[in-house]
DNA sequence: CGGAGAATTTGCGCAGGAGCAAAGAGAGCT
DNA sequence: AGCTCTCTTTGCTCCTGCGCAAATTCTCCG
């Protein structure tokens, strides 16, 4: 089968520590697979027989409880390793991965994992880092859901999405794949109704611009303020909160700058 | 410094794949440290210069937001690896670890990590598994907080604690370390008031038995029912809401697995 | 043994959001 | 074009659980 060109992956952290010949060898063991929008790369609960590296596109990873409640665990962007269940000694995939847009991934047989990490310790380190940062993100999410109001959580979610998959457009920054209010609700632990209401309110404030499965951030700075609970920016609430400056030295830096296009990986 | 006896750790998964001499060598690089109840093993934000293996005791791992809100991330029990920030390429500890009871841990310099995993691939695999299951737990928690009522979440938390650190006593199963309502509130994303109310209600139902920083599960079975939202067991609520949970997840169209056509990236 | 601080219990009122219902708006298909 | 299906918007009501406050009890310590 035609080999994947090394240049496509050489600058990914996973391949960083390897020599070109090693990279080629690793690639030779992989298959490239294409997934059309809406199709599942793998389903929660099925045998974890492969692990993947997303080359192009975006995936939505979701978990469903036995009671049928769905939650969006995260979105995968190009360059990320995913489906590494086997590496964590799990025999089955703990979640479902669905292509949010047409996507392409490299797939290795899970059975090779053990052999590969012995041969390429970089791989283990890379996986560990991937899983580690994923753990940090998830913990951050727990804290958010525990301590913040819905409005703040939605703001955080949008900012994170923009950072991870934001595309600059004239109106601001657009999330680079179709995403519904329902999806956002499942990411923030609320209902699509509430998300819709919030986005509507924000839209009339000029903070965002919505559309069907489409969101554009027009004022990332104010959104950031909202996310941090900055009273001064609060949109809807109107309590007699004595405009206490509450400076607190929180930096106002517009770190919400967004990477133009998919070369994620950070 | 007194050497740690190999027999203390030989049966931990981390040491499972190693020969006795290798185990000894690994142990020789570690220091054994004692922490009295209430003292911190490391603080959030400080340089991650060591990683640990808990030999004895229990630790509470907590994160504090810049705004001062605390959350209990998890509890560490004997035999677990922790503080492996360095392994995930983080230079600082993302959380604080406090001894819930007098505890003993083995500590290795973070700087050795890289060398050690190359020499003992088992170590990397073990760490990966540890972090992986931690990720699963955290994700499960997100789903819980998102979809369950406070009462269910508290029930889940107690059951998990009992499973991880339960000690059989005549009255039932007791959590083996001091834990306050506040702690439970921080684990479940609620307030100590609510937790107190719930536990009081449960106590008068004979489900649990409380005390100062002390909790005994008297009827784990019924608690489990509560945790799963079993209407029949519900203590307080009584609405006849027909369990018509329409389980209509999102349909995922057939996965068009057009195999390997390597001309990746259209 | 008494005092002080920490942890816990409880009452009360309010409101943030969830539930429910239904109409409106796009997008894709035939 | 026309139709249908999915996504989105919005109004209204009700309830869970948070916020606030104060009383109570248990432990540790001098």
Please say if the pLDDT value at position A264 is more than 80: no
Please say if the pLDDT value at position B229 is more than 50: yes
B-chain residues within 8 Å CB-CB of A83? none
Predicted confidence band of residue B43 (pLDDT cuts 50, 70, 90): very high
Calculate mean pLDDT across residues B18-37: 92
Spacing of A70 CA from D17 C1' in Å: 23
What pLDDT score was predicted for residue B125? 87
What pLDDT score was predicted for residue A241? 33
Which nucleotide shows the minimum CA-to-C1' distance to residue A191? C18
Calculate mean pLDDT across residues A217-241: 69
What pLDDT score was predicted for residue B1? 55
What pLDDT score was predicted for residue A253? 31
**Minimal Cα–Cα distance from B250 to chain A, Å?**
9
- DSSP codes, chain B: -PPPPGGGTTTSHHHHTS-HHHHHHHHHT-EEEEE-TT-EEE-TTSB--EEEEEEESEEEEEEE-TT--EEEEEEEETT-EE--GGGGT-SB-SSEEEESSSEEEEEEEGGGHHHHHHH-HHHHHHHHHHHHHHHHHHHHHHHHHHHS-HHHHHHHHHHHHHHHHEEEETTEEEESS---HHHHHHHHTS-HHHHHHHHHHHHHTTSEEEETTEEEES-HHHHHHHHTT-TTT-SS---------------------B--------
What pLDDT score was predicted for residue A2? 55
Q: Which residues touch strand C (CB under 7 A)?
A: A 149-151, 189-191, 193-194, 211-212, 237; B 180-182, 192-193, 196-197, 199-200, 203, 210, 212-213, 241
Name all domains of chain A by residue range, CATH numbers in brackets.
Answer: 6-144 (2.60.120.10), 149-233 (1.10.10.10)
What pLDDT score was predicted for residue A165? 93
Please say if the pLDDT value at position A1 is more than 60: no
Highest mean pLDDT range out of B19-23, B70-74, B260-264? B70-74
- Residue A109 sits at the chain B interface (C-beta within 8 Å): no
pLDDT tens, B108-162?
999 999 999 888 888 888 899 999 999 999 999 999 999 999 999 999 999 999 9
Q: Is there a contact between B121 and A117 (Cβ–Cβ < 8 Å)?
A: yes
Calculate mean pLDDT across residues B181-187: 97
Predicted confidence band of residue B79 (pLDDT cuts 50, 70, 90): very high
pLDDT tens, A126-180?
899 999 999 999 999 999 999 999 999 999 999 999 999 999 998 899 999 999 9
pLDDT cut 70: percent of chain A above it = 85
Predicted confidence band of residue A3 (pLDDT cuts 50, 70, 90): low
B-chain residues within 8 Å CB-CB of A89? 125, 129, 132
What pLDDT score was predicted for residue A54? 96
- Residue B16 sits at the chain A interface (C-beta within 8 Å): no
CB contact under 8 A, B63 and A143: yes
Spacing of A157 CA from D26 C1' in Å: 44
Q: Which residue is nearest to nucleotide D20 (CA to C1')?
A: B193
Please say if the pLDDT value at position B83 is more than 80: yes
Task: Please state, rounded to an integer, the average pLDDT across all residues of chain B.
Answer: 86
pLDDT tens, A187-211?
999 999 999 999 999 999 999 998 9
Please say if the pLDDT value at position A260 is more than 50: no
**Residue of A131, A229, A252 to mutate, testing the B interface (most B Cβ within 10 Å of its Cβ):** A131
Please say if the pLDDT value at position A223 is more than 90: yes
CB contact under 8 A, B258 and A8: no
Q: Which residue is nearest to nucleotide D7 (CA to C1')?
A: A212
B-chain residues within 8 Å CB-CB of A133? 88
Please say if the pLDDT value at position A246 is more than 50: no
pLDDT tens, A33-43?
999 999 999 99
Predicted confidence band of residue B231 (pLDDT cuts 50, 70, 90): low
What pLDDT score was predicted for residue A231? 56
pLDDT tens, A49-80?
999 999 999 999 999 999 889 999 999 999 99
Q: What residues contact B100, with CB distance under 8 A and at least 6 apart?
A: B37, B57, B58, B59, B60, B75, B177, B178, B179
Q: What residues contact A245, with CB distance under 8 A and at least 6 apart?
A: none
Task: Please state, rounded to an integer, the average pLDDT across all residues of chain A.
Answer: 85
**DSSP code, position A60:** E
CB contact under 8 A, B256 and A36: yes
Nucleotides on chain C that have an atom closer than 7 A to a protein CB are 7-11, 16-21, 26-27
Task: Pinpoint the alpha helices (H) of A102-210.
Answer: 113-119, 121-147, 150-165, 181-188, 192-204
Calculate mean pLDDT across residues B23-29: 92
pLDDT cut 90: percent of chain B above it = 71
Q: Minimum mean pLDDT among A43-52, B100-109, B162-171, B248-257: which range?
A: B248-257
Predicted confidence band of residue B245 (pLDDT cuts 50, 70, 90): very low
């Amino acid at each position: 089968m035609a080999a994947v060109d090394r240049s496509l992956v050489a600058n990914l952290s996973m391949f960083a520590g390897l020599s070109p010949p090693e990279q080629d060898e690793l690639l030779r063991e992989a298959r490239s697979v294409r997934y059309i929008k809406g199709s599942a790369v793998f389903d929660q609960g099925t045998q974890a027989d492969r692990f993947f590296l997303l080359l192009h596109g975006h995936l939505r990873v979701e978990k469903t409880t036995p009671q049928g409640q769905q939650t969006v665990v995260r979105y995968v962007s190009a360059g990320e390793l995913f489906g590494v269940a086997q590496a964590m000694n799990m025999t089955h995939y703990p979640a479902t991965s669905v292509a949010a847009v047409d996507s392409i991934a490299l797939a290795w047989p899970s059975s090779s994992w053990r052999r590969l990490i012995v041969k390429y310790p970089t791989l283990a380190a890379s996986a560990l880092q991937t899983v580690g940062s994923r753990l940090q993100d998830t913990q951050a999410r727990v804290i958010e859901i525990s301590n913040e109001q819905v409005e703040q959580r939605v703001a955080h979610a949008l900012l994170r999405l923009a950072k991870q998959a934001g595309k600059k457009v004239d109106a601001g920054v657009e999330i680079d794949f179709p995403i519904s209010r329902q999806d956002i609700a499942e990411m923030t632990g609320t209902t699509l109704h509430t998300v819709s209401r919030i986005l509507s309110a924000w839209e009339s404030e000029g903070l965002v611009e919505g559309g069907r499965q489409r969101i554009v951030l027009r004022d990332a700075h104010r959104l950031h303020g909202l996310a941090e609970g900055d009273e001064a920016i609060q949109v809807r609430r109107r309590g007699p909160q004595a405009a206490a400056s509450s400076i607190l030295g929180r930096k106002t830096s517009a770190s919400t700058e967004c990477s133009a296009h998919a070369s994620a990986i950070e």
